Amino acid sequence: MKTFALVMLCAATALSAAPAFAGGSGRDAERARTAISAGEILPLPALLQRIQAQNPGHVIEAELDHEKQRWVYELKLLPPTGGVVRLELDARDGSVLQRREKRRPAAPAVTPAAPTAPATPTQAS
């Protein structure tokens, strides 16, 4: 499996015509660009538009892998409800292959202390 990593600072940086690849070889990145140009896979911005309605949130990481003769986008999102959502999408048509969600553990309930009566000074006789 070859992995091309793209770390995006925010979803807006993904609005280029083709995804950028960090950490992959030039040959691997060129294969991905060729696949986009040939219409074999969707460009990342088009894919993000398709999934945004069902999976709102900020994209914090995206990878494009070529595994088992298929291109797969792996996305990590921060949804508005909290936690992290990981998606595996078929790069050809944007269909969701797998969705995993990690929710933040709920904060423990804090029980307020019972109010106490103020101390009264004792009077000397």
Confidence of residue 4 (pLDDT cuts 50, 70, 90): very low
Count of domains for the chain: 1
- In whole angstroms, give the CA distance from residue 19 to residue 109: 44
Residue 125: inside a domain: no
Residue 13: inside a domain: yes
CATH code at position 64: 3.10.450.40
Span 53-100, pLDDT tens digits: 899 999 999 999 988 889 999 999 999 989 999 999 999 999 999 999
Domain that holds residue 14: 2-102
Task: State the alpha helices, DSSP H only, in 13-124.
Answer: 26-37, 44-51
Residue 111: inside a domain: no
Q: Residue 53: count other Cβ atoms within 10 Å of its Cβ.
A: 7
Residue 19: inside a domain: yes
* pLDDT of 6: 37
Span 107-120, pLDDT tens digits: 566 666 666 666 66
